[in-house]
Amino acid sequence: MLVTLSDWLWSYLLIGSLLLVGLRCSIGSSWIQLRFFGRMFALLKSGRTGSTERGISGFQALVVSVAGRVGGGNIAGVAVAITLGGPGALFWMWLIAILGMATSVFECALAQLFKRKLADDDFRGGPAYYMHFGLGWRWLPLLYSALLLITIGLGFNAVQAYSVTHSVESAFGIPTHLSGWVLTAVMTVVVFGGIRRVAIFSEVIVPIMVLGYFALALLVLLQNIDAIPAAFASILSSAFGLEQAAGGGIAAAINQGARRGLFSNEAGLGTAPNVAAVADIAHPVSQGLIQALSVFIDTLVLCTCTALIIVLSPVYQPGSAGVEGIALTQLALASHVGPWGEVLVSLALVMFAVSSIAYNCYLGENSIAYFADGHYRRFAINGFRVAVMALIAWASVQDLGTVFSFSDLTMGLLAVVNLLALWRLYPIGIRLLKDFEMHWQGSEPRFDPSRLSGIKVDPNSW
């Protein structure tokens, strides 16, 4: 039942909605993700790298969102997409990511615009807040927050815990229940420190894991440099159904590329705006541009690395049954660099999963913050943290086939609600973008809410 509902949602509603919103944001902004690509790095360089009295820095918000996006989807998710959709699934992941960069600019800039300053001196914001304060909606923000709590706070964390413990068992022979308890202990220390500890943790671990995995993939590409053109040709021909044996043709390639692309980079899902809103920056669009980089890093760099490692490997045989999921990536890398390649993939997955779980927990807490206030909020958040720790320990030894289907379904519903809000808020996003471009004088402009008449923002946040 869950599989049927999920397939219907993705096939008939969500893929079209992702493309439609992505195209509207891209064309309406004159392809901001391409025009401002260089400025994204300039804004990142000029941002402060430490927490401020009013929140975390733009750079920390980026690494926290990269920490969440870069996870099992980059290693296991890509392998699943290629197994079920053929190498061409990667092409559709690229397309979703390029359009998603523009979507991410809009959703993260809007999250900044409508963020709220709370009594604990931290910012809170995200889709529930721009639905409420930007559109005046009441019940859809509640629905979105509930879906966010279930999908990201619980479902995705269960998937991450399952993936990492079974990968460790395959690479090191450590029983899943033992690695599950260790993972639970590590995450308890990180998560109970709140967003600032998550930001500090991510600021250290994310650059290491991203650069390390990229360097490993680069080594594989150099070893197989003569075969790279053929690999890209296979990806493109499979994307348009010219290699029907490889995963089921164009429909399977599009479906799996869109699903695993959204699961991996989350552009349009509304998750990254929850973190983007916490940053203390000069202009809302600055954080939107910085966050678009995380989509680029996640899909166009790291997912491509994983896909090429697999496609260039003799382990992958198009159209035939064999290893799949995380095992496919591990064995593919081992075929390139030797047995220690499987160990490296497992270690990379551990780091990716730890950072993703920390990020997911913060998103769950943000959804709770929308429901609860004052002392009740602190009590509810701590209760949620305890529940997540218990879930990690439990998920480590479970078969999560049903959870994967459930997560796909709730993730799809989450995206539909957020994309609807983005469609309605598009005119405000365009006004915000024009304000940024008009006042850009070679450096980041400072936002003045009075320039956007008719839009109510929190005066304590700006």
How does DSSP assign 314-345, residue by residue? TT--TTS----THHHHHHHHHHHH-THHHHHH
Scan for tokens 């047995």, then name that residue.
339
pLDDT at 26: 96
Spatial separation of the C-alpha atoms in residues 133 and 145, rounded to whole Å? 15
pLDDT at 50: 46
Residue 387 CB partners (closer than 8 Å, separation 6+)? 154
CB crowding 291-330: b at 16 or more within 10 Å, else e: bbbbbbbbbbbbbbbbbbbbbbbebbebeeeebebbbbbb
Which pLDDT tens digits describe the chain residue by residue (462 residues)? 666 777 777 767 888 888 899 999 999 999 999 999 988 888 876 654 444 555 566 677 777 667 666 666 677 778 878 887 888 889 988 988 999 999 999 999 999 999 987 765 567 888 999 999 999 998 899 899 888 888 877 777 877 787 788 778 877 888 888 888 888 888 887 777 665 666 666 667 767 777 888 888 888 989 999 999 999 998 888 888 666 444 456 777 777 777 777 767 778 888 889 888 888 888 999 989 988 988 998 889 888 988 999 999 988 877 655 666 677 888 888 888 888 877 877 787 777 777 778 778 877 877 787 776 666 777 888 888 888 888 788 777 766 566 666 777 778 888 899 999 999 999 999 999 999 999 887 777 888 888 888 888 888 777
Residue 13 DSSP one-character state: I
Q: Environment class of residue 401 by beta-carbon count within 10 Å: exposed (0-12), middle (13-18) or buried (19+)?
A: exposed
Q: What is the dihedral of CA 444, 450, 454, 460, to 10 degrees?
A: 80
Query: Residue 47: CA atoms inside 13 Å, Cβ hemisphere, count?
Result: 29
Task: Answer yes or no: CATH 1.20.1740.10 is held by domain 18-439.
Answer: yes
Domain limits, the chain? 18-439
Distances (CA, A) of 2 to 150, 340, 405: 15, 38, 6
Q: Which pair of tokens denotes residue 206? A: 């994310």
Residue 155 DSSP one-character state: I
Phi-psi group of 30: left, alpha or beta (phi > 0 → left; psi -120 to 50 → alpha; rest → beta): left
CA end-to-end span of the chain: 47
**What DSSP string runs through 195-247?**
HHHHHHHHHHHHHHHHHHHHHHHHHHHHHTGGGHHHHHHHHHHHHTTS-TTTT
Q: Which pair of tokens denotes residue 181? A: 């308890």
Q: Contact, 258 vs 10, CB < 8 A?
A: yes
Distances (CA, A) of 428 to 25, 280, 284, 374: 12, 21, 12, 31
Distances (CA, A) of 439 to 4, 72, 436, 442: 50, 40, 5, 9
Sign of CA dihedral 419, 457, 265, 299: positive
Query: Residue 65: CA atoms inside 13 Å, Cβ hemisphere, count?
Result: 36
pLDDT at 74: 75
Q: Contact, 335 vs 313, CB < 8 A?
A: yes
Spatial separation of the C-alpha atoms in residues 147 and 417, rounded to whole Å? 10
pLDDT at 245: 47
Global pTM exceeds 0.85: no
pLDDT at 110: 96
